Amino acid sequence: MALHIIGLGLSCAKDITVAGLETVRSCPVVYLENYTSLLQCSVADLESLYGCKVVVCDRGASEQGISKMVSLAKTSDVAFLVIGDPVSATTHMEMYREAKEAGVKVSIVNNASVFTAIGVTGLQLYKFGKTTSIPFLERVPGLETPYHVIKANKSIGAHTLCLLDIMVDNVDLETGNKAASAENTDSESNTKFMTVKEALEVLLDIEKRLGEELIDLSTKVVAVARLGCSDMIVKYGSISELLDFDFGGPLHSLVVPGDLHFHEEELLEMWK
């Protein structure tokens, strides 16, 4: 009997590892965490491949239901599915901690995540500094944090990976509070995903307020849509060049490069 926290990877149902698939099929209860990222296939696709029912959990069910899942894992194998890699978010490690403290056996099956797959841009992973998130200004007035993270990383020549905001069912993922409705919203789930354009506008807004000449329209960035998927888009260019480019559906990510090695420069040329 154990709690199995399993990564699903970044794209389709088949991205699950063989070890992960075998584990899922051995579990009588299977949950899917569905708020820290976006599943790029349907739950029905997962159920068809796995041959079992998948129970979808929102933020409340995942966090408030941790004790319930841990308790259930004392007498039955329980699978908890996570988009990407299971150790990338603090919520999942909290589940790991609670299970271990309760004397429940825990297994983790790793998979691809944005933190590794971003290497497809040609930027060297070991040269990335601190990762930052860019939230919607409508819910974080006076936002400055991502700007300061980019500045600190640039001071040591490091690249900055920026994870763009998701508001699930118009709920702030950090606080759980209701957020204002907006145009870029999934009509079925009422979930709003930040676009590359919106993220760039946030950075320009912070620059306008702080005036430290870190970000302007000529600043080179790397923008990615649907990382790890067959329809992935990667673009490298100045902010002015990318502001009006249509990257299509979510999820979007952004990288502000630091000092570039000539090999990185050569690879980035592929994405212009």
Rounded CA separation 34/58 (Å): 6
Q: For residue 85, with 0-12 CB atoms within 10 Å meaning exposed, 13-18 middle and 19 or more buried, which class applies?
A: buried
> Which pLDDT does position 38 carry in this prediction?
83
Of 112, 142, 177, the position where a domain reaches its end is 112
- Give the model confidence (pLDDT) of 22-65 as tens digits: 999 999 999 998 777 888 899 999 999 999 999 988 666 655 67
- 205 and 102 belong to one structural domain: no
Residue 80 is part of a domain; what is its CATH number? 3.40.1010.10
- 184 and 104 belong to one structural domain: no
> Which pLDDT does position 241 carry in this prediction?
97
> Which pLDDT does position 62 carry in this prediction?
57
> Which pLDDT does position 64 carry in this prediction?
63
The answer to whether the beta carbons of residues 232 and 224 sit under 8 Å apart is: yes
> Which pLDDT does position 177 carry in this prediction?
40
- Give the model confidence (pLDDT) of 102-116 as tens digits: 999 999 999 999 999
Of 54, 79, 112, the position where a domain reaches its end is 112
Sheet holding 185-186, edge to edge: 171-172, 166-168, 191-193, 185-186
Lowest mean pLDDT among 12-16, 142-146, 186-190, 236-240: 186-190
In the predicted model, is pLDDT for residue 2 greater than 80?
yes
Q: Confidence band (pLDDT; 50, 70, 90) for 168?
A: low
Domain count, the chain: 2
Instruction: Convert the chain into a string of H (helix), E (strand) and C (coil).
Output: CCEEEEECECCCHHHCCHHHHHHHHCCCEEEEECCCCCCCCCHHHHHHHHCCCCEEECHHHHHHCHHHHHHHCCCCCEEEEECECCCCCHHHHHHHHHHHHCCCCEEEECCCCHHHHHHHHCCCHHHECCCEEECCCCCCCCCCHHHHHHHHHHHCCCEEEEEECEEECCEECCCCCECCCCCCEECCCCEEECCHHHHHHHHHHHHHHHCCCCCCCCCEEEEEECCCCCCCEEEEEEHHHHCCCCCCCCCEEEEECCCCCHHHHHHHHHHC
- 121 and 78 belong to one structural domain: no
Lowest mean pLDDT among 55-59, 137-141, 214-218, 267-271: 55-59
Domain hosting residue 92, numbered range: 3-112
- 58 and 119 belong to one structural domain: no
User: Average pLDDT for residues 225-236, to the nearest whole number?
Assistant: 96
User: Average pLDDT for residues 148-164, to the nearest whole number?
Assistant: 98
> Which pLDDT does position 57 carry in this prediction?
83
Higher pLDDT, 263 or 88: 263
User: Average pLDDT for residues 252-267, to the nearest whole number?
Assistant: 97
Give the distance from CA 61 to its chain's centroid. Answer: 19
Quote the mean pLDDT of the chain: 89
In the predicted model, is pLDDT for residue 18 greater than 80?
yes
